[in-house]
Amino acid sequence: MCGIFCLLGEKSSSLDISKVLKTQNHRGPDYSDFLKINNLVLGSNRLKIIDLDDKANMPFSFGSIILIFNGFISNYKTLKEEMIKTGINFKTNCDTEVLAAMLDVYPYEVCISKLEGMWSFIAYDKRKEQIIISRDDYGIKPLFYFQDEKNLIFASEINTLFSFLNLSIDYTNVGKYFFADSFNKDPFATENTFFKNVYSYPASSYSILKLNKKQIEKLSFQKINRKFSNERLTNKEFYNLMERKFDEYKSADVKKCVPLSGGIDSNVINYFLRNEQNTSTLSISDMDLQSENNETNLIKKTVKNSKIPHEFVDTGQIISFDFFKNLISKFKNPVSSPVVINSAALRYTAKKNNIKVLYSGNGGDELFGGYAQQFIFYLKYLIKNKKFYKAYKLLINGSTICASGKNTNKIIKNYISGLKNSIKLTLSDNYLKNKSEFHNKKFFNSNFDFKPDDNMFFANPNEYNLHLIKNKRMPYWLATDDFVSSMYSIENRVPFLNQELVYMSQKIYDENNFHQRYTKYKIRKLFKNKISKYVIENKVKLNQPGSFDNFMFGKLFSMNRDTL
What is the tens place of the pLDDT at every residue in 307-366? 889 999 988 888 888 888 888 888 766 777 778 888 999 999 999 999 999 999 999 999
Spatial separation of the C-alpha atoms in residues 203 and 221, rounded to whole Å: 10
Higher pLDDT, residue 431 or 516: 516
Residue 278, classified by CB atoms within 10 Å of its CB into exposed (0-12), middle (13-18) or buried (19+), is middle
Contacts by residues 78-82 (CB-CB < 8 Å, ≥ 24 positions apart): 78/248, 79/114, 79/115
pLDDT of residue 223: 96
pLDDT of residue 551: 57
- Work out the angle between the directed axes of helices 171-179 and 441-448 (0-180°, nearest 10): 170
Strand partners, 358: 257, 492
User: In this structure, are residues 489 and 27 in contact, taking their beta carbons and an 8 Å threshold?
Assistant: yes
Spatial separation of the C-alpha atoms in residues 217 and 74, rounded to whole Å: 32
pLDDT of residue 420: 78
Strand partners, 34: 43
Q: Taking the CB of residue 146, how many other CB atoms lie within 10 A of it?
A: 20
Instruction: Indicate the SS3 state at residue 461.
Output: helix
What mean pLDDT is predicted for residues 547-552?
53
- Percent pLDDT > 90 in the chain is 54
Spatial separation of the C-alpha atoms in residues 114 and 346, rounded to whole Å: 34
pLDDT of residue 184: 45
Kindly give the residue spans of alpha helices, DSSP state H, lying in 493-538. 499-505, 521-526, 533-536
Mean residue pLDDT of the chain comes to 86
User: In this structure, are residues 363 and 502 in contact, taking their beta carbons and an 8 Å threshold?
Assistant: yes
- CA 248 to chain CA centroid, Å, is 18
Phi/psi at 544 (5° precision):
-70, 145
pLDDT of residue 338: 76
This prediction has a pTM of 0.91
First to last CA, the chain: 40
pLDDT of residue 442: 54
Spatial separation of the C-alpha atoms in residues 525 and 543, rounded to whole Å: 22
Higher pLDDT, residue 435 or 80: 80
pLDDT in tens, 120-171: 999 999 999 999 999 999 999 999 999 988 999 999 999 999 999 999 988 8
pLDDT in tens, 435-445: 444 444 555 45
Per-residue pLDDT band at 296 (split at 50, 70, 90) = confident
pLDDT of residue 560: 56
pLDDT in tens, 469-518: 998 778 888 999 999 999 999 999 999 999 999 999 998 888 888 887 78
